[in-house]
Amino acid sequence: MSACSVEVDRNLCKGCGICVSVCPKNALELSPNIGPSGYRYPVLKGECIGCKTCTLYCPDFAITVVCDEGGGQG
Amino acid sequence: MRRLRKHFSRKYLREEVLPTPFCPGCFNGVVMNVMFKAFEELGVERLKGYVFVSGIGCSSWIPSPHIKADTIHTLHGRAVAVATGVKLAKPNLNVIVIGGDGDLAAIGFNHLVHAARRNMDLLVILVNNLVYGMTRGQASPTTPEGMRTVTTPYGAYEPVMDVAELIARTNANYVARWCVANFNQLKNSIKEALSKHSKGFRFIEVIAPCITYVVRYEGKTPGQKIKELMKVCRPNTETPYGRIGILKAEDKPGYLDRYFEYVKRATEGDKGE
């Protein structure tokens, strides 16, 4: 089930937190670390179900969901 | 380290101009995602044959440096006028106008109304951020009454202009209004406007409150605001932003159909005499 994870392009992420708030499983949180552009990027803290809602709402095209079995990009 | 997977929108974007110039959390990026998801589901891999026209304003930056297609960044408010010219010169192109409320509803409203009256074959996406965002958040014609902005610190007192309802009263073919949180409905509207109702004037208003001058003044984060919009913006209900949903869907002949019929009549008439 937890075959999915998120990948964040830290050069594009602006740390707005939309992905954290739209995640239906509350599986994301903002990292305490700061990315190269000076913002806190999201990291996975819980189980990702691969719904890709964060991908749809990310305004900076930074977050992608990767699942193990086929069709990972979204 | 292996290369990062790319976001689905990035195949439609000029990647050398990223990151976008928008504020962190700006809903313009979500509007871009909706549009690209609609293109992806329509099977459009490369945006050949699409022309994006925009005027001046924050949301006019959506097409101009970013989308990997033909784009025109024109004068303030004249995006619809320029798009009319593009469509008449090259009728086989799909012309899409993206603009904000200051661009399309304030300075360029006469162009918008007359293009709708003519049922001109354009798709107009109005990204309504409720204030004049680029000039630091003054109250605009679409600011809801009572909303606090920099020029109306005790709440906006002017009556609001309901752009989608006004356009629905004209001769336009397709009018819809969605919040930025209605992702699937908005995507389906854009898909319908590009496939099923591909003739005539199609107008889609997107309520996307300005992150810096509306949402921050309310003391909310972008994430909290999008959750709130998901609760408020139920389809076919009255909201503070007007009625949400598809307001009009018709299949009248577009301007170009009438125009070419007229040209045919005129040339055949010449031959007859």
pLDDT at B271: 61
Within 8 A of B27 by CB-CB distance, chain A residues are 59
Verify whether the Cβ–Cβ distance B183 to A73 is below 8 Å: no
**A–B interface: beta-carbon pairs under 8 A:** 88
Q: Which of B3, B7, B224 to mutate to test the interface with A (most CBs of A within 10 A)?
A: B7
- Provide the H-helix boundaries in chain B: 28-41, 79-89, 109-118, 163-169, 183-194, 222-232, 255-272
Summarised one tens digit per residue, pLDDT across range A30-61 is 999 998 989 999 999 988 998 999 999 999 99
Quote the domain boundaries for residue B56: 22-272
Among B172, B159, B67, smallest CA distance to B113 is for: B172
Instruction: Select the residue from A10, A11, A18 to test the B interface by mutation, using most B Cβ atoms within 10 A.
Output: A18
Residue of B nearest to A19 (CA): B223
pLDDT the model gives residue A72: 47
Residues in Cβ contact with B9 at an 8 Å cutoff, skipping those fewer than 6 apart: A61, B32, B33, B36
Interface test mutation site (partner B, options A61, A65, A66, max chain B beta carbons within 10 A): A61
Q: Is residue B17 part of a domain?
A: no
pLDDT, mean of each 10-residue run, chain B (273 residues): 77 90 93 94 92 93 92 94 95 94 92 94 94 92 92 92 93 94 94 91 95 92 93 90 92 92 87 56
CA distance B25 to chain A (A): 5
Q: Nearest-CA residue of chain B relative to A12?
A: B19
Distance from CA of B23 to the nearest CA of A (A): 8
> Which pLDDT score, from 0 to 100, does residue B270 have?
64
pLDDT at residue number A68: 77
- pLDDT, residue B204, reads 96
Q: What is the reported pLDDT for B2? A: 60
Beta carbons of B7 and A64 less than 8 Å apart? yes
Q: Please state whether B125 falls in left (phi above 0), alpha (psi between -120 and 50) or beta.
A: beta
Give me the pLDDT at residue A62, please.
92
Provide the shortest C-alpha distance from residue A53 to chain B (in Å). Answer: 10
Q: Is residue B90 part of a domain?
A: yes
pLDDT, tens digit, for every residue of B77-106?
999 999 999 999 999 999 999 999 999 999
A5–B contact, CB cutoff 8 A: no
CATH number at residue B127: 3.40.50.970
- pLDDT at position A69 is 65
Q: Given A7, A55, A59, which is nearest B27 (Cβ)? A: A59
- Spatial CA neighbour of B17 closest among B57, B79, B66: B66
pLDDT, one tens digit per residue, over B207-243 is 999 999 999 999 999 999 999 999 999 999 899 899 9
| B116 falls within a domain | yes
A21 vs B: CB within 8 A: yes
Q: Residue A54 is encoded by which pair of tokens?
A: 């964060």
Q: Helix, strand, or coil here: B84?
A: helix
User: B115 with B84: CB under 8 angstroms?
Assistant: yes
Domain presence at residue B15: no
* Single-letter code of the amino acid located at B196: K
Q: Which of B123, B127, B134, B136 is nearest to B57 (CA)?
A: B134
CATH topology of domain A4-67: Alpha-Beta Plaits (3.30.70)
